[in-house]
């Protein structure tokens, strides 16, 4: 058997790490496999880069100008197809292919002509919309029938709204395939069943984390930031903004008593300019042990995300023994239960504030219960579910 995965990255970011984890499991089974990618530089022995940074930036610019997101990168796609034709894989597993790393029309016409067996992990909603990866914040349901007059057009195209044409092209290209769809959350699986992809089989495989890394980890975080005897409310994201609830934390900082302290991880200089002085800002770190120390030091992890698939930050917090409070958004609530956290309606800042005070007062969630819940998301076990599909 030969397996090829196609993704924007290899070993970097959540999708790139999933690809490498699957590849390593395939290696253990002595199954020939490759990870084709375009962004960054990977040291993974099965990684194959088929386009460079300059080329991808040019394709992103073309997409903005022409409004044809997903239908550029023709030269790179021809190179990819040539390599696929040489390898002749039994299975192609798609991940993120909307990072200007392929031309959908060329690639899927090839898949149809070769009758390629496909697995496709959806990491967002882009596959069944004209443009967008998420539509919750703009309350759009046009994707259920036919995208048009896209309310998020400016995020994808400077001049033209081609959402209807792109929606119809996707609908046509993604029909008649030997395809199994994989979603990390039941929430996304339910959306797929309301889309033009509803006739394909859908399998839910939750994202997993490395429980050898994310576990209770002692450190000097509290001492370093003078947080002894403080109730630490933690937020972690790597693209802070309205979608991740940055404004929610700013509002909470105005309301919470002084013996509470908000800590945000994954910020940058631009985000710092928006934050009040009473929020501690920690810029993005690649040191996962340091991140585990911060999770462990925190009293409560708060995730006020407004658009989400299946956030691994929730799991990371639980694995370090810290309970989770989240908006009822996407697959975020699926990670917790009554033993390790709570959910409030999306955008209910009053409810979020009240729950923080309740949790601080009652201390209803033990570290042991949080850690036990996180065991359900052991990456080694989760990624084995992919191999079961292949075999």
| Strand ranges, E, within 227-319 | 231-236, 260-267, 279-283, 300-303
CATH architecture of 2-205: 3-Layer(aba) Sandwich (3.40)
Q: What is the pLDDT of residue 172?
A: 97
Q: Is the domain covering 221-377 a CATH 3.30.450.70 domain?
A: no
Q: What is the pLDDT of residue 238?
A: 86
DSSP of 312-359 = HHHHHHHHTT--EEEES-TTGGGG--TTTEEEE-TT-HHHHHHHHHHH
Q: List Cβ neighbours of 389 (8 Å cut-off, separation of 6 or more).
A: 119, 180, 182, 203
For residue 13, report the phi and psi dihedrals to the nearest 5 degrees.
70, 170
Domain 2-205 matches domain 221-377 at the CATH topology level: yes
Sign of the alpha-carbon torsion through 367, 385, 49, 123: negative
253: tokens are: 């900082």
Q: What is the pLDDT of residue 380?
A: 87
- According to DSSP, residue 128 is labeled G
Instruction: Give the chain's residues under pLDDT 70.
Output: 286
Instruction: Kindly report, residue by residue over 116-138, the tens digit of the pLDDT.
Output: 999 999 999 999 999 999 999 99
Q: What is the pLDDT of residue 13?
A: 82
State how far Cα 5 lies from the chain centre.
17
Q: What is the pLDDT of residue 286?
A: 66
Q: What does the domain layout of the chain look like in residue ranges?
A: 2-205, 221-377
């Amino acid at each position: 058997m030969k397996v090829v995965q196609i993704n924007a990255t290899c070993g970097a970011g959540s999708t790139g790490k999933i690809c490498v984890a699957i590849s390593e499991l395939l290696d253990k089974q002595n199954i020939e496999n490759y990870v084709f990618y375009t962004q960054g530089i990977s040291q993974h022995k099965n990684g194959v880069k088929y386009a460079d940074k300059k080329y991808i930036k040019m394709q992103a610019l073309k997409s903005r100008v022409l409004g044809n997101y997903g239908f550029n990168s023709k030269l790179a796609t021809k190179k990819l197809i040539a390599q696929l034709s040489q390898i002749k894989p039994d299975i192609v597993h798609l991940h993120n292919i909307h990072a200007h790393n392929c031309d959908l029309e060329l690639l899927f016409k090839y898949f149809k002509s070769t009758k390629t067996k496909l697995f496709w992990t959806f990491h967002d909603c882009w596959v069944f919309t004209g443009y967008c990866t998420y539509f919750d914040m703009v309350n759009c349901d046009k994707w259920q029938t036919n995208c048009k007059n896209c309310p998020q057009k400016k995020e994808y195209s400077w001049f033209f709204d081609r959402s209807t044409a792109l929606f119809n092209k996707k609908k046509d290209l993604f029909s008649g395939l030997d395809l199994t769809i994989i979603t990390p959350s039941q929430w996304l699986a339910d959306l797929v069943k309301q889309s033009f992809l509803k006739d394909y089989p859908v399998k839910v495989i939750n994202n997993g984390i490395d429980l050898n890394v994310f576990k209770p980890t002692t450190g000097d975080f509290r001492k370093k930031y003078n947080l002894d005897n403080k109730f630490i409310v933690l937020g972690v994201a790597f693209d802070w903004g309205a979608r991740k609830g940055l404004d929610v934390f700013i509002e909470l900082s105005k309301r919470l008593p002084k013996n509470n302290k908000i800590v945000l991880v994954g910020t940058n200089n631009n985000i710092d300019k928006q934050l009040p002085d009473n929020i501690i800002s920690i810029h993005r770190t690649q040191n996962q042990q340091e991140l585990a120390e911060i999770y462990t030091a925190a009293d409560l992890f708060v995730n006020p995300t407004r658009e989400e698939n299946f956030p691994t930050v929730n799991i990371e917090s639980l694995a370090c023994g810290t309970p989770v409070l989240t908006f009822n958004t996407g697959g975020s609530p699926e990670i917790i239960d009554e033993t390790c956290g709570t959910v409030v309606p999306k955008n209910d800042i009053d409810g979020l504030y009240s729950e923080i005070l309740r949790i601080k007062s009652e201390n209803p969630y033990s570290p042991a219960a949080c850690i036990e819940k996180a065991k359900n998301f052991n990456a080694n076990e989760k990624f084995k579910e992919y191999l079961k599909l292949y075999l």
